[in-house]
Structures are given as C-alpha cells and as structure tokens.
Amino acid sequence: MRMNTVIGGLVATMVLAVPGTALAAGTKAIAKLESRSDSTVTGKVTFTEHEGKVSMKVVVKGLTPGLHAIHLHDKGDCSAPDATSAGGHWNPSSENHGKWGQAPFHHGDIGNLVADAKGNAELTEVSDLWTLGDGKPSDVIGHSVIVHAKEDDFTTQPTGNAGGRVACGVIQRVP
C-alpha cells in the first residue's frame, strides 16, 4: 500500500507492507564499485525488481565533497585503469543525453550524487524503464555503473561534461 502525505508543501511517500510480505521480492543485481583513475572511491549499487519497477540504491564513499555524475554505461567491463573499457553511456532508446525524467534523456542517465564533507553519498532511484535479467533491451544486467569526477551538466553531448571516471562496477545478477 502506498500513502502520500503533504508536509510543509512537500509530498512524502510511505510504502506500507502487510506483515509477512517482502517488499524486495524478485530479481536482484549488484555492482561493486571499485576505484579507477587513481581515486579512492568505492561503493555498492543494488538493483531490486518488484512489481514491474527496478529500485537502484547507491552507496559511495571516498568522493570529494560536492556533485558527481553517475551513469549506467554500455559495457560490463571495468578492466581499464580509467574505466574507459566500460564504453559510452548505455542508451538502448537512442536518445540524447539529458536529465532523468525530462525529455530527452536515455536509460543510462541517472543524475548526480551529492557527496557530503566526508565524501559519502547515497542515492535511490526507482524506474519502470529498467528490467533485471530478462534479456530485453531495458535489462541493466551486464552493463556497468560509473561514478564521475565532476557533476553532470545535463546538456553537453554525449557525456554531460562529467569528467573522468573515478569508480566502476559491473552489474551482476545475484542468485
């Protein structure tokens, strides 16, 4: 059950579960973020599919304080020291780069992480544009997650002028 509440002009959404039911039922995938480009950035990205939507939970540490772009990239390959082996942004819809939810944008456009003074950042995104493990063009498994050195300007094609790749992780299904 979903309940929306207006608090001081903001809408807060709570998801209520019936005791004994699991909200995170369904397919799960994880990308372990490893440092690249001589950074110390690490983290974990967890994808969970439930009722036709995929939830992505990002936890990152070791960033410089401020904004850092995060994108899904085409290739599930983080072998290069600068993560260029991950290729360009994952773009199964062949759209221009942009800001998530504001046309035009593509499936790999996620946005910016906000790192606190200690370099920690968290982000949760829920989408019905992604799937897990079904082999469709919308399937995120086998692609990679990249955290960039700079913020995404949501305009510059095709990268958002996000700078170097400071962390990379391949999205792998969890059995």
What's the burial of 153, exposed, middle or buried (CB within 10 Å: 0-12/13-18/19+)? middle
Is residue 15 in some structural domain? no
pLDDT range class, residue 155, cuts 50, 70, 90: confident
Is residue 2 in some structural domain? no
Question: Which CATH number do you get for residue 44?
Answer: 2.60.40.200
What is the percentage of the chain residues whose pLDDT exceeds 70?
Answer: 77
What's the pTM?
A: 0.80
What average pLDDT does the segment 131-151 reach? 94
Is residue 22 in some structural domain? no
Is residue 108 in some structural domain? yes
pLDDT in tens, 54-99: 999 999 999 999 999 999 999 999 999 999 999 988 877 777 666 6
Please count the structural domains in the chain: 1
User: In terms of residue numbers, what domain contains 135?
Assistant: 27-174
Structure tokens at 1: 């059950």
Is residue 124 in some structural domain? yes
The residues facing 113 across adjacent strands are 68
Is residue 105 in some structural domain? yes
